[in-house]
């Protein structure tokens, strides 16, 4: 039944139309775009292109309404329980969203002796901004202690036994990740709030969850959330950061924002509409079925392959997590770069490097397969056959 649901959706992605070419298995880096997104961008640029927040002629008004309406669209998509008080700021992606929080808001919050927790094993984008904020404050004589968010690579989730460390009286800020971009784990973010209490601020990197599964701010209980529009079927160079209003973030709107990527915003609204119509829960079930096929197969070839982080599995009684769109692995005899090259020659586009993971040496590379709504069972079965060939 899911396959019957998926097939007409795939048909809406023009880049994937035509005779089957190489399978695109790098959606965690950026996703393909449905026709509806391309149309929305084209229609905006050919009927109303102007700057936003300036001018009072019709094109300018349409553009201003588009950008302001898009903030509400993002809030609704994220299930914002208090949209009248929260804010949305458009960015070029998650990196800029996190950096905006670190630059415009974090310094005002922190006092000498405070502690912040950051994920040392996650994407660089969720580490560098916090370390830079600490260094900036140090130059002003404010000393912040940066601590590693307790984390367990084997399960790919926060280390439940160590979370009590977050409860210290000096903990002011936690930079968390929703879904790890290498291990694929859907992390238990609500446990961070339980550990840290109501007063500390949590900022969530949702680059790998928004667009892949239902994301509900009401359930997450975080103060900031950054995501990449381009990983959620919108144009390259799009994204947003959401901020809970009660915390009063010092984003400076208006002219300071410069000219927003208005065409990108038009595409982002269309992408969120498309995703909502397709159903984020169904997308998650589909991608989980695909990644489970791969992890189950790799775990039957332990002499050749090592799977990193969490595994998705549909096997009965399996204790591993239930959903995900990312599988990362190494071949015990072939380097990741070589394997990536061979896989492309056999018709599969995968990522093979260090995946921008903080603190990793260049030698610690791996192959990452990541899927989205448009990937097919045939593609995954073909990949499994090829990997079995290369054992």
Q: Rule CB under 6 A: which residues touch ligand PMP?
A: 28-29, 93-95, 123, 125-126, 177, 181, 205, 207-208, 228, 239, 356
Q: Which is nearer to ligand PMP, 93 or 280 (CB)?
A: 93
Residue number of the CB atom closest to ligand PMP: 93
Q: Which is nearer to ligand PMP, 9 or 204 (CB)?
A: 204
Q: Is 234 helix (H, G, I), strand (E, B) or coil?
A: coil
Residue 129 CB, nearest approach to ligand PMP (Å) = 11
The answer to whether 284 touches 214, Cβ cutoff 8 Å, is yes
Residue 337 CB, nearest approach to ligand PMP (Å) = 18
User: If we measure between CA atoms, which residue out of 239, 296, 292 comes closest to residue 264?
Assistant: 239
d(CA 387, CA 294): 10
Residue 254 CB, nearest approach to ligand PMP (Å) = 24
Residue 244 CB, nearest approach to ligand PMP (Å) = 20
Q: Which is nearer to ligand PMP, 6 or 213 (CB)?
A: 213
d(CA 108, CA 88): 19
d(CA 65, CA 52): 8
Type and span of the H or E element at 283: helix 280-299
Residue 97 CB, nearest approach to ligand PMP (Å) = 8
d(CA 127, CA 335): 27
Q: Which is nearer to ligand PMP, 240 or 301 (CB)?
A: 240
Token reading at 51 = 């700057």
Residue 298 CB, nearest approach to ligand PMP (Å) = 21
User: In angstroms, how far is the first alpha carbon of the chain from the final one?
Assistant: 33
Q: Which is nearer to ligand PMP, 63 or 95 (CB)?
A: 95
Residue 50 CB, nearest approach to ligand PMP (Å) = 26
Q: Give every strand in the sheet of 326-331, ordered side by side.
A: 305-308, 326-331, 366-370, 351-353
The answer to whether 267 touches 248, Cβ cutoff 8 Å, is no
Residue 141 CB, nearest approach to ligand PMP (Å) = 31
The answer to whether 228 touches 35, Cβ cutoff 8 Å, is no
Q: Which is nearer to ligand PMP, 95 or 313 (CB)?
A: 95
Q: Which is nearer to ligand PMP, 203 or 297 (CB)?
A: 203
Q: Is 42 helix (H, G, I), strand (E, B) or coil?
A: helix
Residue 118 CB, nearest approach to ligand PMP (Å) = 13
How long a stretch of residues is the chain? 391
Q: Which is nearer to ligand PMP, 86 or 208 (CB)?
A: 208
Token reading at 361 = 């040496």
Say how far residue 334 (Cα) sits from the centre of its chain: 29
User: If we measure between CA atoms, which residue out of 318, 234, 223, 328 comes closest to residue 275?
Assistant: 234
Q: Is 204 helix (H, G, I), strand (E, B) or coil?
A: strand
Residue 206 CB, nearest approach to ligand PMP (Å) = 8
Q: Which is nearer to ligand PMP, 74 or 297 (CB)?
A: 74
Q: Which is nearer to ligand PMP, 6 or 291 (CB)?
A: 291
Q: Who contacts 42 (Cβ-Cβ below 8 Å, separation ≥6)?
A: none
d(CA 366, CA 235): 27
């Amino acid at each position: 039944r899911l396959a019957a649901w998926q097939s007409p959706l795939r048909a809406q992605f023009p880049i994937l139309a035509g005779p089957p070419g190489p399978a695109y298995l790098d959606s965690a880096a950026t996703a393909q775009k449905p026709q509806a997104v391309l149309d929305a961008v084209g229609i905006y640029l050919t009927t109303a292109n102007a700057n936003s927040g300036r001018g009072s002629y019709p094109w300018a008004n349409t553009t201003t309404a588009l950008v302001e309406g898009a903030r509400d669209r993002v809030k609704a998509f994220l299930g914002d329980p208090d949209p009248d008080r929260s804010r949305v700021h458009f960015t070029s992606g998650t990196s800029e969203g996190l950096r905006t929080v670190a630059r415009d808001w974090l310094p005002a919050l922190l006092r000498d002796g405070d502690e912040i927790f950051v994920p040392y094993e996650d994407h660089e984008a969720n580490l560098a901004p916090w370390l830079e904020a600490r260094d900036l404050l140090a130059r002003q004589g404010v000393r912040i202690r940066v601590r590693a968010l307790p984390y367990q690579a084997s399960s790919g989730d926060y280390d439940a036994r160590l979370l009590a460390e977050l409860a210290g009286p000096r903990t002011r800020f936690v930079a968390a990740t929703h879904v790890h971009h290498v291990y694929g784990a859907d992390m238990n973010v609500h446990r961070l709030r339980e550990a840290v209490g109501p007063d500390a601020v949590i900022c969530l990197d949702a680059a790998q969850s928004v667009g892949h599964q239902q994301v509900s701010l009401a359930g997450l209980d975080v103060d900031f959330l950054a995501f990449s529009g381009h990983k959620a079927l919108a144009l390259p160079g799009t994204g947003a950061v959401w901020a809970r209003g009660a915390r009063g973030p010092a984003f400076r709107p208006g002219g300071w924002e410069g000219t927003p990527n208005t065409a990108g915003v038009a595409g982002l609204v269309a992408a969120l509409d498309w995703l909502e119509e397709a159903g984020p829960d169904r997308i998650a079930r589909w991608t989980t079925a695909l990644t489970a096929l791969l992890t189950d197969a790799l775990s039957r070839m332990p002499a050749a392959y090592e799977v990193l982080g969490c595994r998705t599995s549909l096997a009965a009684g399996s204790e591993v997590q239930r959903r995900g769109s990312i599988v990362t692995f190494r071949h015990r005899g072939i380097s990741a770069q070589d394997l990536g090259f061979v896989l492309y020659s056999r018709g599969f586009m995968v990522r093979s490097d260090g995946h921008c993971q903080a603190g990793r040496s260049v030698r610690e590379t791996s192959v990452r397969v990541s899927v989205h709504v448009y990937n097919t069972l045939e593609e995954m079965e073909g990949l499994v056959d090829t990997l079995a060939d290369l054992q």
